[in-house]
Amino acid sequence: MSSVVEQPLHRALGLTDGEHSRIQTLLGREPNDFELAVFSLLWSEHCGYKHSALLLKRLPSDGERVLQGPGENAGVLDLGDGIAVAFKVESHNHPSAVEPFQGAATGVGGILRDIVAMGARPIALLDGLRFAEPGHAFSRAVGGIGAYGNSVGVPTVGGEAVFDEAYRDNCLVNAMCVGLLPADRLTRAKATAAGHVVVLYGATTGRDGIGGASVLASQELDEGSAEKRPSVQIGDPFTGKKLIEASVELVQSGLVESLQDCGAAGLASSLAEMAADYGIDVHLDRVPLREEGMDPWEVMISESQERMVAIVRPTMLEAVEAVLDRWELHHAAIGEVTSTGDLRACWESEVVGEIPARLLTDECPRYDLLREPRAATPVREILDPPAIADALVALLNSPNLRSRAFVFQRYDQLVGSRTVRRPGLDAAVLRLRPSMRGLAVTLDGQGRIARLDPYLGGAFAVVEAARNVACVGGEPLGFTDCLNFGNPEKPEIGWELSEAIEGMAAACRALALPIVSGNVSLYNETNGRAIHPTPVVGAVGLVPDVRRVPKGWRPGDTIFLAEASSISLAGSEYQALFGETGG
């Protein structure tokens, strides 16, 4: 591992000199190479949220329907009638910039597993895509989403497709998943008692994805990013489908105590989070492998897809293995819960790493960002405005105003037989069988507005999502967010992130609604050029009767415009086409 590059190992792994010193102090010794690799991933921006955690505390997350807020694999809201909804949006931006098909596909796979880890069955997917143009890379990402979602039998019912030069070098691929579960059967990730068995199941483990959380998701891209293709995970949707069904069966049968997705940072992250209150001994030589000659550190941090970790009572182990055998999934009892508080990794009879679990989670650095307001973008007069008819034709030809049917027609929208309202309008609606109630879902963002005013961009994203739910007759219940920004170590980006979160928080307070889950994707820059600050917000809402969902406009309908503020072209498509975005 020390041959990665000719520089100190901690720097090669993405840790600063100060963070390395902090690790030495916390451990009371020099970490070995295995332990340093684990720290580098758990303390990365992707896993540790070290540049955003302090800001995220400003977002309201409490409410009478909240069963689970931020801190777990997904947020959960009570829908009444004994049903709850688990939902979350995640990013897979950096992998998709390097390899659009697999990056987008594994983004879908990862968010599905987050929902399953809460004990829920996924019922819908949404995707928020931002590219420079609807060209090859965009088509590949759409293909990856369709290939995975269609194969696992979960409908893709909504989302966004936005095109802007700001995303030329760094595309955005945000995936949202919604699932249903009994309100009294919520599954969480943490271990609950010493002596329980740790079971890894799903696909085998290889070298794909090693370092993805730090190599790709926690630093800027550059001309050498194509060389990072080995860090992009490879998805297998058919194994993913079996994993979903087996996991749902295990939860419904009461066979598991805790459940965790094995995603970013692999077993290192999954086990650190599960071990937080107790401790876990993991025997890495028991992990089913697909490649020969893997070192212990590679097994620990591999991000091979379609894997889950369950904690089960010893008396339930045989029944758990029977379920996994029936679904033809690889599985192994790889460890046990202890009372030491340590995450201890063994290879055959040797201890290769031993770290107090709380050091990996609770002691992750939290940085207070430097913030420097960016100068306002001046509004420049359009010196030679086009004729109205010409402007209208140009606007209608813009990819941002065309129908998105060429995107969502590649997705299965009806599998599962819940879809009442398909993609293409304000929000999708899914029936909550056997009742006639429905669940409205949407995913929205305001990148151009946030470029002009990050506070308004954050607030507008929340309000737009709530409006879209209302437009299908739904009552908004709560939100999930994905914050896509540039390098937070730059004061200008730190200011954008802080302002956007303040705007979102203000809008949530005004609506008296919580944000119960989310994701932060930073370092969306290439050679110093950052994307537009892009807060994306997903919403769920309750529809009293799906038979009364508006059907859309029909000939003869009267159109009313309801507004609460003056009309402005700031951040509009017209301004982008014929002038410069400003305001």
pLDDT at 379 (0 to 100): 63
Catalytic residue among 46, 94, 283, 330: 46
What's the pLDDT score for residue 4? 47
Q: What is the pLDDT along the chain (583 residues), one digit of tens a residue?
A: 544 447 899 999 999 999 999 999 999 999 999 999 999 999 999 999 999 999 999 999 999 999 999 999 999 999 999 999 999 999 999 999 999 999 999 999 999 999 999 999 999 999 999 999 999 999 999 999 999 999 999 999 999 999 999 999 999 999 999 999 999 999 999 999 999 999 999 999 999 878 655 554 455 655 555 554 456 788 999 999 999 999 999 999 999 999 999 988 999 999 999 998 899 999 999 999 999 999 999 999 999 999 999 999 999 999 999 999 999 999 999 999 999 999 999 999 899 999 999 999 999 999 999 999 987 766 666 767 889 999 999 999 999 998 899 999 999 999 989 999 988 888 999 999 999 999 999 999 999 999 999 999 999 999 999 999 999 999 999 999 999 999 999 999 999 999 999 999 999 999 999 999 999 999 999 999 999 999 999 999 999 999 999 887 889 999 888 877 777 788 888 888 887 665 5
Same domain, 25 and 134: no
The predicted pLDDT at position 221 comes to 54
The reported pLDDT for the residue numbered 2 is 46
Residue 4: inside a domain: no
Q: State the CATH number of the domain containing residue 140.
A: 3.30.1330.10
**Residue 3: predicted pLDDT:** 46
Q: How far apart are CA 114 and CA 192, in angstroms?
A: 19
Active site residue 46: yes
* 55 belongs to a structural domain: no
583 lies in a domain? no
Residue 2 lies in a domain: no
The helix (H) or strand (E) run that includes residue 159 is: strand 156-163
Residues contacting 528, CB < 8 A, separation 6+: 220
Could you tell me if residue 1 is inside a domain? no
Closest CA to 132 of 455, 447, 519: 447
CA terminus-to-terminus distance, the chain: 51
Total number of domains in the chain? 2
Note whether 306 and 312 are within 8 A (CB): no
Whether the CB-CB separation of 508 and 514 falls below 8 Å is answered with yes
Q: Quick one: 34 and 67 in the same domain?
A: no
- Would you state the structure tokens that stand for residue 527, as one six-digit string? 């050679």
Residue that is last in its domain, among 327, 361, 395: 361
Residue 97: predicted pLDDT = 93
Catalytic residue among 20, 51, 92, 331: 92
Amino acid 567: pLDDT: 73
Looking at the structure, tell me whether residues 139 and 100 fall in a common domain: yes
In this structure, the answer to whether residues 282 and 380 fall within a common structural domain is no
* Helical spans, DSSP H, in 50-135: 53-56, 93-98, 100-116
Please say if 20 is a catalytic residue.
no
| Residue 56 maps to a domain | no
Same domain, 163 and 226: no
Answer whether 0.85 is exceeded by the pTM: yes
Q: Are residues 216 and 267 in the same domain?
A: yes
Q: What type of residue is 46?
A: H
Q: Are residues 415 and 429 located together in one domain of the fold?
A: yes
Contacts of 472 (CB under 8 A, 6+ apart): 421, 425, 426, 427, 429, 440, 541, 543, 549, 550
**287 with 380, same domain?**
no
Domain that holds residue 20: 9-50+188-361
307-312, strands of its sheet edge to edge: 258-261, 307-312, 197-202, 330-337, 280-283, 342-347, 350-356
Q: Is the dihedral of CA 494, 495, 498, 499 positive or negative?
A: negative
| pLDDT given for residue 380 in this prediction | 63
Clarify whether residues 248 and 320 are in a common domain: yes
CATH number, domain at 308?
3.90.650.10
Q: Among 361, 389, 422, where does a domain finish? A: 361
Residue 192 lies in a domain: yes
pLDDT value of position 384: 79
Residues 353 and 409 in one domain: no
- Asked if 157 and 111 sit in the same domain, the reply is yes
- C-alpha 469/C-alpha 539 separation (Å) is 7
134 and 236, same domain (yes or no): no
Q: Nearest CA to 341 among 355, 327, 330?
A: 355
Residue 502: inside a domain: yes
Which of 344, 361, 378 is the C-terminal boundary of a domain?
361
Q: Tell how strand 342-347 and strand 280-283 pair up.
A: parallel
